[in-house]
């Protein structure tokens, strides 16, 4: 065994803008071993092979998410993400039923109606910016409805969310500048939800925020810090990951017309296509962990306290697990990708996200079967979570 790996240029390359647009060449380099880098907070080890990532996700007693090396602008844990078992189970028992397949079945008519209404707003035109007019408002409206939050506050929520997930600083590796941006946004998020929680305590409704405020777990009400930790996490996840996934999927289909035409002609393939595009595009490229108990990965000893990044996108394109991993295959029989993670911390909202993505792709291709990226447009993907800020499309024979 050896100690933590030496710094690797491929690790740093993963966090460059060119890798956000096309991460697969970097993924291939990273899968060759265990890479390391330093971005100002000490050594950061990248774990990229499917087997190793799977092991880390399923063993929180070795790889903790409670000691997140990334400062997200809050001193309290994001619940349940940053709580390790066994305490983690306490929150999942409360939250899992709210996002079960049965619960999302009941939501589908409203989800589909919203998708159709948004598409009605631009389907008759020559084109649109699908990010602005669909990828953002579709999942964000669903989130705000579930939480009973005003739709007119969406722009402020999005600004806070972006300041946490992708802070606007001159140097993305400037830890102090990044922390300052996140701290300001985090303080504003806390202040907003403190007010919203107070309102629900006085007059609870039937929204999710009211359920958090009035819920009992083990005979005890959640305290304010616990509710705030849930709100913070749901704001970040509910307003970002489905938008990013839709952007990646639509951009792929807009630039690969044979794949798009197949979904138009065979709508029964949409469910498997969503899974395959989640695998191939993997919008959430990395998730952080901290080594809790000394362990070894890829022949390297990792002492307790080592910060690691699990490179989900690299694991999802590991040719040792996925036959033809470097190509999109809507007929793939088994697709155990990590777009929603795995193990105890598997994404709480995965069933809802899948439902939203399936409905969105079905309805998009029913209304607008022929589209392409607008001529001359340059698509810019964000780092970490691969979102496209502007995705201009032309419809039919236009452009």
Taking only the tens place, the pLDDT of each residue in 28-74 is 999 987 888 776 666 789 999 999 999 999 999 999 999 876 788 89
Angle 229-235-236 (CA atoms, 0-180°, nearest 5)? 95
**Cut 0.75: pTM above it:** yes
- In which residue are the tokens 């491929």 written? 10
Residue 106 makes CB contacts below 8 A (sequence gap 6+) with none
pLDDT tens digits, residue range 233-255?
999 999 999 999 999 999 999 99
What is the pLDDT, as a whole number, of residue 15?
85
Q: What is the DSSP letter of 88?
A: H
| pLDDT score of 8 more than 90 | no
What is the pLDDT, as a whole number, of residue 75?
87
Residue 18 makes CB contacts below 8 A (sequence gap 6+) with none
User: In which band, very low, low, confident or very high, does the pLDDT at 299 lie, cut at 50, 70 and 90?
Assistant: confident
- Do residues 56 and 63 make contact, with C-beta atoms less than 8 angstroms apart? yes
Percent of all residues in the chain with a pLDDT value above 90, rounded to a whole number: 82
Q: 45: part of which helix (H) or strand (E)?
A: strand 43-47
How many Å apart are CA 361 and CA 340, to the nearest integer? 18
220 - beta bridge partners?
217
pLDDT tens digits, residue range 189-232?
999 999 999 999 999 999 999 999 998 887 889 999 999 999 99
| pLDDT score of 1 more than 60 | no
Mean pLDDT of 165-175: 80
SS3 212: helix
User: In which band, very low, low, confident or very high, does the pLDDT at 384 lie, cut at 50, 70 and 90?
Assistant: confident
Q: Which domains does the chain have, with CATH numbers?
A: 9-394 (1.10.630.10)
- Do residues 129 and 254 make contact, with C-beta atoms less than 8 angstroms apart? no
| pLDDT score of 258 more than 60 | yes
What is the pLDDT, as a whole number, of residue 180?
93
| CB-CB neighbours of 356 under 10 Å | 27
What is the pLDDT, as a whole number, of residue 41?
61
| pLDDT score of 5 more than 70 | no
């Amino acid at each position: 065994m050896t100690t933590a790996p030496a710094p690797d240029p491929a690790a740093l390359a993963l966090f460059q803008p060119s890798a956000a647009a096309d991460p697969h060449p970097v993924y291939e380099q990273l899968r060759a071993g265990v890479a390391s880098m330093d971005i100002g907070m000490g050594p950061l080890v990248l774990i990229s092979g499917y087997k190793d990532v799977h092991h880390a996700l399923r063993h929180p007693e070795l790889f903790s998410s409670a000691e997140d090396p990334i400062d997200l602008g809050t001193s309290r844990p994001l619940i349940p993400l940053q709580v390790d078992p066994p305490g983690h189970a306490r929150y999942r028992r409360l939250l899992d039923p709210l996002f079960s397949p049965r619960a999302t079945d009941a939501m589908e008519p409203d989800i589909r109606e919203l998708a159709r209404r948004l598409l009605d707003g631009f389907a008759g035109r020559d084109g649109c910016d699908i990010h602005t007019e669909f990828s953002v408002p579709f999942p964000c409206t669903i989130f705000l409805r579930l939480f009973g939050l005003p739709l007119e506050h969406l722009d402020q929520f999005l600004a806070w969310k972006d300041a946490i997930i992708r802070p606007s600083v001159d140097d993305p590796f400037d830890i102090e500048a990044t922390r300052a941006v996140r701290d300001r946004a985090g303080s504003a998020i806390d202040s907003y939800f403190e007010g919203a929680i107070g309102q629900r305590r006085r007059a609870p409704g039937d929204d999710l925020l009211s359920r958090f405020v009035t819920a009992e777990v083990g005979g005890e009400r959640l305290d304010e810090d616990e509710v705030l930790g849930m709100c913070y996490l749901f704001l970040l996840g509910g307003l970002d990951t489905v938008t990013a996934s839709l952007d990646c999927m639509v951009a792929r289909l807009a630039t690969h017309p044979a794949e798009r035409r197949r979904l138009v002609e065979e709508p029964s393939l949409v469910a498997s296509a969503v899974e395959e595009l989640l695998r191939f595009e993997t919008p959430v490229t990395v998730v952080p962990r901290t080594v809790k108990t000394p362990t070894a990965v890829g022949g390297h000893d990792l002492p307790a306290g080592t910060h690691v990044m699990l490179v989900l996108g690299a694991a999802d394109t590991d040719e040792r697990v996925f036959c033809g991993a470097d190509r999109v295959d809507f007929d793939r029989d088994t697709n155990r990708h990590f777009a929603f993670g795995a193990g105890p911390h598997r994404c709480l909202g995965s069933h809802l996200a899948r439902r939203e993505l399936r409905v969105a792709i079905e309805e998009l291709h029913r209304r607008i079967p022929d589209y392409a990226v607008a001529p001359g447009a340059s698509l810019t993907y964000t780092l970490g979570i691969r979102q496209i800020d502007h995705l201009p499309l032309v419809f039919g024979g236009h452009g």
